[in-house]
A and B are shown apart, each in its own frame.
Chain A
């Protein structure tokens, strides 16, 4: 187990989680559970935890997770500082401790103003009610969302939502593929996904695929292809880092699931990248078990989020052995 991997996490207070504890995460981790149980919120908590090393990066992740959630409702380039302030206000508490980082954030109402208290690995920062948080945001690279996207793309931590990456982010991820001379590998994997695609390139500011001797915008193809390419590029971009994939099977046809897991298990090992992914799909869970077993890849876990009798969210984390036992004897694991 690599030392940078997140193995244990306590979420004391964040969104739907209170006094939540989960232990036993490995290099590749699949998260299941019913609708609205908190799978995405769990990944957000982990994402903030591994990414936020100081106040600025914590502010960035708070806003970023909200931007991801609100993606369908906005055109990201129209983001203004006021809207970012609203997004920041969406997080009142974040109190998470893991083997990687310990962070606490509180926003406290004082008359009509707010105070913000940060404790990141025992470094305390308080922004008093007399300080305008918008000024802080403006004075960081957070103000310009494109810069923010740059920061994400240039870091080795990536969060892919269920829509896959947008063109700008995908281009940044693709640049890491180019820097690592992995274009040939990417093209081979794309051909396996769709044999009619003979090449992938960024032309101008558009990711494009060549089919029938003609390049077409990636957006003209199905969502599954964009999701698939985003995942492969991010696996290389997140070398020695972390990749979070929400609704991993979104848009992916069932006969591609085994290939996708084979790619994730193989490349994440090569790049030393820890992967967290969520799914609702029984086929996706079965495929994860089948390919882990086929590759004898035991550095994996499967977690089901459940609610207990007090309506608290809890995690059932299964190691490779426990997961294989459940799958072999057809226990309900979703």
Chain B
């Protein structure tokens, strides 16, 4: 059991979410081997107290094996989910669950969204880091298309992004990455060595 944990959305080990996080950790020259990634599947799983990943985390935290946890979760849209959708709901509900788990002192949260609009998900965050003209072009395409569901929307956006920027997947120098960089640095700071 490693003493640093990142929880993220997605089901498989290599998800688009943790791909970006892994790349950024490596970009920051932090030790990727110190991290256990906990894929949580759908966003709603973050709010299930008795789930297997939370039972594992609780056991690790109670026995002082896990020192710090970073929750990375999509904001989504309040109009799609009145309970958990939107930045504010996500933040409030996640803080509530962290409190119920007893993880307040060792946890931090990063909510994936367009940092200006405070809505969306990982793809909205990435889109916010590319030049204005290209971003508008992609946004217009998505708005005009009939692909309304989150998963379709995300898949298309990913594909366009890959075609448009095959050589440089992420612009880590963009200021929108600063908050996530800081949270990752804090996660690795003073890490112990069980």
Chain B residues in 8 Å Cβ range of A328? 13
Q: For residue A302, give the distance in angstroms from its CB to the closest CB of chain B.
A: 11
Query: Contact between A306 and B65 (Cβ–Cβ < 8 Å)?
Result: yes
Tell me if A318 is interfacial: C-beta within 8 Å of chain B: yes
Query: Contact between A316 and B65 (Cβ–Cβ < 8 Å)?
Result: yes
Tell me if B26 is interfacial: C-beta within 8 Å of chain A: no
Instruction: Determine the distance from Cα of A332 to Cα of B39 in the docked complex, in whole angstroms.
Output: 15
Known: A329-B37, A329-B38, A333-B1. A318 touches B56 (CB 8 A): yes
Known: A321-B52, A325-B53, A325-B56. A330 touches B13 (CB 8 A): yes
Whose C-beta in chain A lies nearest to the C-beta of B5? Answer: A331
Chain B residues in 8 Å Cβ range of A322? 52, 55-56, 59
Chain B residues in 8 Å Cβ range of A213? none
Whose C-beta in chain A lies nearest to the C-beta of B62? Answer: A314
Chain B residues in 8 Å Cβ range of A331? 1-2, 36, 56
Chain B residues in 8 Å Cβ range of A318? 56, 59
Tell me if B115 is interfacial: C-beta within 8 Å of chain A: no
Tell me if A257 is interfacial: C-beta within 8 Å of chain B: no
Chain B residues in 8 Å Cβ range of A330? 13
Instruction: Determine the distance from Cα of A306 to Cα of B192 in the docked complex, in whole angstroms.
Output: 15
Instruction: Determine the distance from Cα of A326 to Cα of B55 in the docked complex, in whole angstroms.
Output: 11
Query: Contact between B56 and A304 (Cβ–Cβ < 8 Å)?
Result: no
Query: Contact between A309 and B38 (Cβ–Cβ < 8 Å)?
Result: no
Instruction: Determine the distance from Cα of A168 to Cα of B191 in the docked complex, in whole angstroms.
Output: 53
Instruction: Choose among A309, A317, A319, A333 the residue with the greatest number of B CB atoms under 10 Å from its CB.
Output: A309
Instruction: Determine the distance from Cα of A324 to Cα of B53 in the docked complex, in whole angstroms.
Output: 10
Query: Contact between B52 and A325 (Cβ–Cβ < 8 Å)?
Result: yes
Whose C-beta in chain A lies nearest to the C-beta of B37? Answer: A329
Chain B residues in 8 Å Cβ range of A316? 1, 59-60, 63, 65
- Could you tell me how many residues of chain B have their Cβ less than 8 Å away from some Cβ of chain A? 18
- Give per-residue flags for B53-72: 1 if the beta carbon is below 8 A from chain A beta carbons, else 0: 10110011001110000000
Query: Contact between A317 and B36 (Cβ–Cβ < 8 Å)?
Result: no
Chain B residues in 8 Å Cβ range of A319? 52, 55
Tell me if A308 is interfacial: C-beta within 8 Å of chain B: yes
Q: For residue B88, give the distance in angstroms from its CB to the closest CB of chain A.
A: 30
A-B residue pair count with CB separations less than 8 angstroms: 50
Chain B residues in 8 Å Cβ range of A304? 1
Query: Contact between A317 and B13 (Cβ–Cβ < 8 Å)?
Result: no
Other-chain residue from A308, A315, A329 in contact with B64 (beta carbon distance below 8 A):
A308
Other-chain residue from B13, B59, B65 in contact with A329 (beta carbon distance below 8 A):
B13
Query: Contact between B56 and A326 (Cβ–Cβ < 8 Å)?
Result: yes
Q: For residue B68, give the distance in angstroms from its CB to the closest CB of chain A.
A: 14
Tell me if B194 is interfacial: C-beta within 8 Å of chain A: yes
Known: A318-B56, A329-B13, A332-B36. A309 touches B64 (CB 8 A): yes
Whose C-beta in chain A lies nearest to the C-beta of B192? Answer: A309
Query: Contact between B63 and A306 (Cβ–Cβ < 8 Å)?
Result: yes
Whose C-beta in chain B lies nearest to the C-beta of A315? Answer: B63
Chain A residues in 8 Å Cβ range of B60? 316
Known: A304-B1, A319-B55. A329 touches B39 (CB 8 A): yes
Instruction: Choose among A314, A318, A331, A333 the residue with the greatest number of B CB atoms under 10 Å from its CB.
Output: A331
Instruction: Determine the distance from Cα of A330 to Cα of B1 in the docked complex, in whole angstroms.
Output: 10
Q: Tell me which residues from 283 to 334 in chain A have a Cβ below 8 Å from any Cβ of chain B.
A: 304, 306-309, 314-319, 321-322, 324-326, 328-333
Q: For residue A34, give the distance in angstroms from its CB to the closest CB of chain B.
A: 10
Whose C-beta in chain B lies nearest to the C-beta of A305? Answer: B63
Q: For residue A311, give the distance in angstroms from its CB to the closest CB of chain B.
A: 11
Query: Contact between B52 and A332 (Cβ–Cβ < 8 Å)?
Result: no
Chain B residues in 8 Å Cβ range of A333? 1
Chain A residues in 8 Å Cβ range of B13? 328-330
- Give per-residue flags for A178-209: 1 if the beta carbon is below 8 A from chain B beta carbons, else 0: 00000000000000000000000000000000
Q: Tell me which residues from 97 to 111 in chain A have a Cβ below 8 Å from any Cβ of chain B.
A: none
Whose C-beta in chain A lies nearest to the C-beta of B38? Answer: A329
Chain A residues in 8 Å Cβ range of B39? 329
Could you write out 21 A-B pairs with CB less than 8 Å apart?
A306-B1, A306-B65, A308-B63, A314-B63, A314-B64, A315-B63, A316-B65, A317-B59, A319-B55, A324-B52, A325-B52, A325-B56, A328-B13, A329-B13, A329-B36, A329-B37, A329-B38, A330-B13, A331-B36, A332-B2, A332-B36
Q: Which 8 A-B pairs have the closest CB atoms?
A: A308-B64, A314-B63, A321-B52, A325-B52, A322-B52, A316-B59, A309-B64, A322-B56
**A residues adjacent to B (C-beta < 8 A):** 304, 306-309, 314-319, 321-322, 324-326, 328-333
